[in-house]
Chain A
Amino acid sequence: MTTIDLGVPGLGPSGLAGVPALAEGETLTRKDFAPGNEVRWCPGCGDYAVLAAVQAFLPDLGLRRENIVFVSGIGCSSRFPFYLDTFGVHSIHGRAPAFATGLATARPDLNVWVVTGDGDALSIGAGHLLHTLRRNVNLTILLFNNRIYGLTKGQYSPTSESGKLTKSTPAGSVDAPFNPVSLALGAEATFVARTLDSDRKHLTEVLGAAARHRGTALVEIYQNCPIFNDGAFDVLKDSEESQARLVRLRAGEPVTFGGPDGTANAVVARRDGGGVEVISSEFAAAQGLAPIVHDPAADDPAAAFALSRLDDVTLSHVPVGIFRNVSRPTYDDLVRAQVDGAVSAAGGPAGDSALAALLGGADTWTVD
């Protein structure tokens, strides 16, 4: 096999490259992204907070509104596109990544988002999610994880904790749950992050980085379902509890947490066997153990994966932030480069004579 130098043009760092920006001096506000229709989520649903954050954040991208497309699957969160005054498609269960892959490949001038949930992305659509991450299509995927099926009224999901009592598991779920971040890292994702519906500032920061990442950016958003799984993430929202549990990942900084007001009384250190563990700052100091320094740009995803394994269903330690953010050629850029390269190598778009030559092939005969 010979390796072909694809000579991919314009592989800039930004996922927004090629998407038309607003004219100089032109700006949009959150109101421009609110279509003014009635939002139909349940009162108290975490989706409201995410919607508000996204509507407020989109103007920051400086893009023309008509060049933004939100594609979703099926589920409560998948109603999201209806509440944004951009282009939007509410597709079918689990298949939004497939639809978005075709769209993003056909249209490099669009900023394409996928909105999905834990059932949509990790159950019925798990295959598409994994292959989209593997291919690294230029998309931003918002995975709303509430660990329950909401729209079908309360069955357990592929992220529900084992033993969960739901309508379809009266004796407790016997399924082992997925950890979406671990799964994405295993699927060769180039950008993986986690954030919380209730932390507007953190959510906005993560969204900004995700949108600007060229390639598939997966953002898991822990999101509360007040009807069927209320309070699932309360310990991460309580100001005291959260200090002991939330591990905020910051590029280039030691991974520490646990103290009041951002101080640390615990560190994340390497453990024999390749993983990481949480130890008290005191113990670390006594043993001379340094906290690991977070490097989302590391080529090797092993450290990011180890961090993702700190999380468990009891939420005792939950890393949030950007686990991984590396650059790799995107699928859609490569596909377009092959086509554009072939067209330009042939001297430009095909005309009638090129078509006639194609149809004729190599072996023709003439009847007079």
Chain B
Amino acid sequence: MSSQTTTIAPISNGAHHPASAVRGVDHVVIRFAGDSGDGMQLTGDRFTAETAALGNDIATLPNFPAEIRAPAGTLPGVSSFQLHFADHEVLTPGDAPDVLVAMNPAALKANLGDVRRGGTIIIDTDAFTRRNLTKVGYATDPLTDGSLESYDVHRVPLTALTVEALADLALGRKDAERSKNMFALGLLSWLYSRPTDGTRRYLETKFAQRPHILAANLRAFEAGWAFGETTETFAVRYEIAPAPAKAGRYRNITGNVALSYGLVVAAQQAGLRLVLGSYPITPASDVLHTLSGLKRFGVTTLQTEDEIAGIGAALGAAYGGALGVTTTSGPGLSLKSEMLGLAVALELPLILCDIQRGGPSTGLPTKTEQSDLLQAMFGRHGEAPLPVIAAASPTDCFDIAIEAVRIAVTYRTPVILLSDGYLANGSEPWRLPDVTLLPRVDPGFAAAPTDPEAPVFRPFDRDPETLARPWALPGTAGLEHRIGGLEKADGTGEISYDADNHDRMVRLRQAKIDGVSVPDLGVDDPTGDADLLVLGWGSTYGPVAAAVRDARAAGRQVARAHLRHLNPFPVNLGAVLRRYPQVLVPEMNLGQLALLLRARYLVDVVSHTSVRGQPFASGDLLNVITAMTSPSPQARLGYDLSSGVN
């Protein structure tokens, strides 16, 4: 038995049961699963916060249906939250859960297939009624029919224990049952030796106005902990040591919140007022929610009548000198495309954040995908180039937002920032930046002419270096001018239908975007002689990095690079691609980046794709890398690269 001390505060005054051994492990993947109304997302969030506070590295993956409350106990209603925590760097939420908490038969049925053989399953036996079993098509009870034999199953009457723990609180049975997620959280907190103060504080704040609900939640939470401690159900409890991390202050943060904060900081640093025009859409709405609560930072949020008005209002605000931002997901990106074209023509700064989800059409609103890349690149009529950048991880959403503002303001152009459902809702520890050291961009508004005899203002004269035009704000005397979507004469901005002028303007707009300064692509190639490069973009960052790490651990020589800038590409990208005999491009689409790379660089990259609404499993990528780096040519050929995930 290990006797390592931890920061866990004793939660119960009950007698400590000596039966449980404490075992140190280096990583665990837990999935909480239940009905949409069971509070699994909250349970996962709290467990994540406790785990973060302990100093483990973490990645999370919430997974929930598009329906708010699908019929109770059914498969479509299952909501889950997975987190992977470890004493070392965590790059993905984990391929296969080590532990599944199943609050009902539907949760078991929907998730069992993912659980590692020999993994732990904690089941609320009270929910395993004949009716609930039938609802999801269990002919026999999996608790008794032997089908769970290869797992370590813990049968806990969670609901009854919760109700019993709250017996003296004068709550109705239904209300008491609702606290069962806190019982589960308490039990898991005990099992994994998590600190509990944060959850107590959280509950005290959340239910400050409703003391009886607070009492019920706290009591259930404590009862769950005490259950673990005082019963012999669990022979072992676990400890996971903190992961080594750079010194600093940390918090846990989701991609959407990080994105919101990045926009606020960038606006503040630039001295611009942030104006968001947005229409609610999953999974982007949390950015609207977060920003609407930040009025104290001068943030204006307009929830408009539709997607088009959202970007229209943002562009109008940008014309007036604000940092105009609009947020959306796939269907909204389609609706906004005409206004994006106007922003390209007006050459005004604008940020469009597309939090991608499964498509086409309404598709998979709550699931992740990377299939808007080509629409972001080309989804406008006419030659309408604009910069496209993509976040790599939840915390990178902060940095990429600042980068979007730099490009938009410097080059007077709309920028599409791509995130996705996985990054948006997933979370990870974030080392807080020193705000005084973050990059600043100067909006450099056009000044009023001082000479009363100054010639007429030319709104389309360009900066010779950036090709950016002046950002000339209404209210500035002497800069009165008229512009719009009609083709403009170079320099003067007057309406022009001249053939040579149009040809020149089309090429100028393209040259401006092609000339956006983008950092060179860094390549992670420790031995320098890898013959395979794995190139990721967007949220494949984590799975690719994890798979490459594992491949190297298995002795393979693999190089890795990650694109944050999709348009323009880094200047050295072509050279990097040509340096490697094989280039693997994993994407959650049918090969959109691969298409661009082949077209642009004439390099025959290998496209590996998955469109399952979930991030890549790093194990799957490892198999591909292993096949592609096999010393045996047969093994290489044996892997059918044209297919997706098997």
List the interface of chain A (C-beta within 8 A of B). Answer: 20, 35, 37, 64-67, 69, 71-72, 74, 81-82, 84-92, 95, 97-107, 109-110, 127-128, 130-131, 335-336, 338-339, 341-343, 345-346, 349-350, 352, 354-356, 358-361, 363-368
User: Mind listing 18 A-B residue pairs with CB under 8 Å?
Assistant: A67-B475, A69-B474, A85-B480, A88-B483, A91-B484, A92-B485, A97-B309, A101-B302, A102-B302, A103-B320, A103-B474, A106-B273, A343-B297, A354-B296, A358-B264, A365-B52, A367-B55, A367-B245
Chain A residue numbers with a CB within 8 Å of B435 are 352, 355-356, 359
B248, B317, B479, B486: the one within 8 Å of A105 (CB): B317
B297, B317, B433, B477: the one within 8 Å of A103 (CB): B317
Q: Are B302 and A81 in contact (CB under 8 A)?
A: no
Residues 469-495 of B, flagged 1 when their CB comes within 8 A of A and 0 if not, give 000001111111111111000000011
For the complex, what is the distance from the CA of A52 to the CA of B297, rounded to whole Å?
44
Q: Are B480 and A65 in contact (CB under 8 A)?
A: yes
B315, B432, B477: the one within 8 Å of A66 (CB): B477
Chain A nearest CB, measured from B291 CB (Å): 11
Q: Are A90 and B486 in contact (CB under 8 A)?
A: yes
Chain B nearest CB, measured from A239 CB (Å): 37
For the complex, what is the distance from the CA of A130 to the CA of B245, rounded to whole Å?
54
For the complex, what is the distance from the CA of A339 to the CA of B294, rounded to whole Å?
9
For the complex, what is the distance from the CA of A95 to the CA of B342, rounded to whole Å?
11
Chain A residue numbers with a CB within 8 Å of B52 are 363, 365
For the complex, what is the distance from the CA of A342 to the CA of B273, rounded to whole Å?
14
Chain A, Cβ-Cβ closest to B479: A66
Q: Taking the complex as formed, is B282 at the interface, i.e. its CB lies under 8 A from any CB of chain A? A: no
Q: Are A91 and B247 in contact (CB under 8 A)?
A: no
Of listed A90, A98, A105, residue having the most chain B CB within 10 A: A98
For the complex, what is the distance from the CA of A103 to the CA of B242, rounded to whole Å?
50
Of listed A69, A355, A359, residue having the most chain B CB within 10 A: A359
Chain B, Cβ-Cβ closest to A94: B308
For the complex, what is the distance from the CA of A106 to the CA of B475, rounded to whole Å?
12
Q: Which of B263-283 contact A (CB under 8 A)?
A: 264-265, 268, 273, 275, 277
Chain B residue numbers with a CB within 8 Å of A356 are 432, 434-435
Of B22-30, B123-131, B249-257, B568-576, the one contacting chain A is B249-257
Q: Are B275 and A359 in contact (CB under 8 A)?
A: no
Chain B nearest CB, measured from A117 CB (Å): 15
For the complex, what is the distance from the CA of A354 to the CA of B436, rounded to whole Å?
12
Q: Taking the complex as formed, is B600 at the interface, i.e. its CB lies under 8 A from any CB of chain A? A: no
**Shortest 3 CB-CB distances between A and B: which pairs?**
A90-B484, A98-B312, A102-B316
For the complex, what is the distance from the CA of A131 to the CA of B309, rounded to whole Å?
10
Chain B nearest CB, measured from A367 CB (Å): 5
Q: Are A89 and B484 in contact (CB under 8 A)?
A: yes
Q: Are B316 and A355 in contact (CB under 8 A)?
A: no
Residues 280-317 of B, flagged 1 when their CB comes within 8 A of A and 0 if not, give 00000000000000111111101011101100111111
Q: Taking the complex as formed, is B53 at the interface, i.e. its CB lies under 8 A from any CB of chain A? A: yes
Q: Are A106 and B432 in contact (CB under 8 A)?
A: no
For the complex, what is the distance from the CA of A361 to the CA of B198, rounded to whole Å?
13
Chain A, Cβ-Cβ closest to B485: A92
Q: Are B432 and A364 in contact (CB under 8 A)?
A: yes
For the complex, what is the distance from the CA of A85 to the CA of B476, rounded to whole Å?
13
Chain B residue numbers with a CB within 8 Å of A336 are 300
Q: Are A102 and B251 in contact (CB under 8 A)?
A: no
For the complex, what is the distance from the CA of A127 to the CA of B310, rounded to whole Å?
13
Chain A, Cβ-Cβ closest to B205: A362
Chain A, Cβ-Cβ closest to B316: A102
Q: Are A92 and B339 in contact (CB under 8 A)?
A: yes
Q: Are B298 and A343 in contact (CB under 8 A)?
A: yes
Q: Are B475 and A102 in contact (CB under 8 A)?
A: no
